[in-house]
């Protein structure tokens, strides 16, 4: 079995990717953020028979020695560890530089020294900023409209520089807005669902006009595996997008319709980004990823989005899962 390391395995996408890799027969080492409780984050919620096959390491992506130790004897590295909350990046920008840029440097340097066969680095569609043309392909200019986006641009460039300078086998996967079970309530889809599931009919939300290219987490995980097994993806940036555009307002209406709820939207100014920091339009072009790897999104278009939302709603509506969220509190 191929030994793989997943950094950020305790997070939303990382836990799903870890679960997917285990189901595919990989030998997985999960790198999770150290904490005094010994928590594995979302990995704690996986069935016992799944967790029993996991090799879990608690550490910190900002510590180069810790990262190198975790990477020993691994063939493939999926690097997902990052600070991702955009609102918090306004408050603690230095933390984003330390975690996202220096953390990525630690991963790449360790991979170089240990002769890892493949690193898949995780980018984000936020690096593009508001679309200057659509659909957004990989040649679109990068614009850091938030400290988070700027830190990810820096991390992406560090990753690509290691390919160009040292031939470190790196690919950059750039997912557009991933959603699904276990996502943080700081994201808009869980924010909507948890408020409705808690019996609220007045939803407190930010701007409704921005559009997003939402991707169900299963599609994103499949994109990771596709890139890791594709030699022509080396040194490339690849968009993982559904190539489907929908506004936040339309998303609210669709979720309310699926959940059978009549809702009233109240604008919460604390949830609004600074004027020039809001990314108003994201609509991705996935042609390159499809042509190089054969990957196809299973939840694209209006029908696919509705199916993905239904799965997500069912998970959040389970009282056991809903109790882990605080619908009335804005999660920065």
Higher pLDDT, 49 or 277: 277
> Is residue 269 included in any domain, yes or no?
no
In percent, the amount of the chain with pLDDT more than 70 equals 100
| Burial of 143 from C-beta contacts in 10 A (0-12 / 13-18 / 19+) | middle
pLDDT, mean over the chain: 97
> Is residue 260 included in any domain, yes or no?
no
* pTM for this prediction: 0.97
> Is residue 279 included in any domain, yes or no?
no
Q: What is the pLDDT of residues 132-186, one digit of tens each?
A: 999 999 999 999 999 999 999 999 999 999 999 999 999 999 999 999 999 999 8
Q: What is the pLDDT of residues 174-224, one digit of tens each?
A: 999 999 999 999 899 999 999 999 999 999 999 999 999 999 999 999 999
Domain CATH number, residue 61 = 3.40.50.720
Question: Do the bridges between strand 3-7 and strand 76-79 make them parallel or antiparallel, or are there none, so unpaired?
Answer: parallel
Q: For 57-86, give one letter per residue: b (16+ CB within 10 A) or e.
A: bbbbbbebebbbebbeebbbbbbbbbbbbb
> Is residue 288 included in any domain, yes or no?
no
User: Rounded to whole angstroms, how far apart are CA atoms 240 and 157?
Assistant: 18
> Is residue 282 included in any domain, yes or no?
no
Of 252, 300, 280, 304, the closest CA to residue 134 belongs to: 280
Of 96, 147, 152, 102, the closest CA to residue 127 belongs to: 152
Asked whether the predicted pLDDT for residue 332 surpasses 90, the reply is no
How open is the CA angle 229-156-112, to the nearest 5 degrees?
Answer: 60
Domain span at 136: 3-178+215-240
User: Rounded to whole angstroms, how far apart are CA atoms 168 and 170?
Assistant: 6
What is the pLDDT at residue 328? 74
Q: How many domains does the chain have?
A: 1
What is the pLDDT at residue 62? 98
Q: What is the pLDDT of residues 287-318, one digit of tens each?
A: 999 999 999 999 999 999 999 999 999 999 99
What is the pLDDT at residue 1? 67
Please measure the distance between the N-terminal and C-terminal CA atoms of the chain and give it in whole angstroms. Answer: 40
> Is residue 261 included in any domain, yes or no?
no
> Is residue 68 included in any domain, yes or no?
yes
In percent, the amount of the chain with pLDDT more than 90 equals 95
Asked whether the predicted pLDDT for residue 246 surpasses 90, the reply is yes
pLDDT band at residue 72, thresholds of 50, 70 and 90? very high
> Is residue 306 included in any domain, yes or no?
no
321 and 185 in contact (C-beta within 8 Å)? no
What is the pLDDT at residue 17? 98
């Amino acid at each position: 079995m191929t030994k793989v390391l997943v950094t950020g395995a305790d997070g939303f996408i990382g836990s799903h990717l870890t679960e997917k890799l285990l189901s595919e027969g990989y030998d997985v080492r999960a790198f999770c953020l150290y904490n005094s409780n010994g928590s594995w984050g979302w990995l704690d919620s996986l069935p016992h028979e799944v967790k029993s096959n996991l090799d879990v390491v608690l550490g910190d992506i900002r510590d180069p020695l810790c990262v190198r130790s975790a990477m020993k004897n691994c063939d493939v590295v999926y690097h997902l560890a990052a600070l991702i909350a955009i609102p918090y990046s306004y408050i603690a920008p230095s933390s984003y530089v330390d975690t996202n840029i220096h953390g990525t440097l630690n991963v790449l340097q360790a991979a170089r020294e240990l002769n890892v066969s493949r690193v898949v680095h995780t980018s984000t569609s936020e690096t593009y900023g508001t679309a200057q043309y659509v659909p957004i392909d990989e040649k679109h200019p990068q614009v850091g409209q938030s400290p988070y986006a700027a830190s990810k641009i820096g991390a992406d460039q560090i990753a690509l520089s290691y390919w160009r300078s040292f031939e470190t086998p790196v690919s950059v996967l750039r997912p557009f807005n991933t959603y699904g079970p276990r996502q943080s309530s700081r994201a808009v889809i869980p924010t909507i669902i948890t408020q409705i599931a808690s019996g609220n009919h007045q939803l407190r939300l930010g701007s409704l006009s921005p559009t997003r290219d939402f991707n169900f987490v299963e599609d994103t995980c499949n994109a990771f595996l596709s890139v890791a097994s594709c030699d022509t993806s080396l040194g490339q940036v690849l968009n993982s997008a559904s190539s489907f555009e929908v506004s936040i307002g339309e998303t609210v209406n669709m979720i309310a319709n699926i959940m059978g709820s009549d809702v009233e939207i109240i604008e919460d100014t604390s949830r609004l980004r600074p004027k020039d920091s809001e990314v108003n339009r994201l609509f991705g072009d996935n042609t390159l990823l499809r042509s190089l790897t054969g990957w196809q999104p299973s939840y694209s278009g209006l029908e696919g989005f509705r199916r993905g939302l239904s799965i997500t709603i069912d998970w959040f509506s389970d009282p056991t899962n809903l109790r882990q969220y605080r619908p009335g509190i804005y999660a920065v």
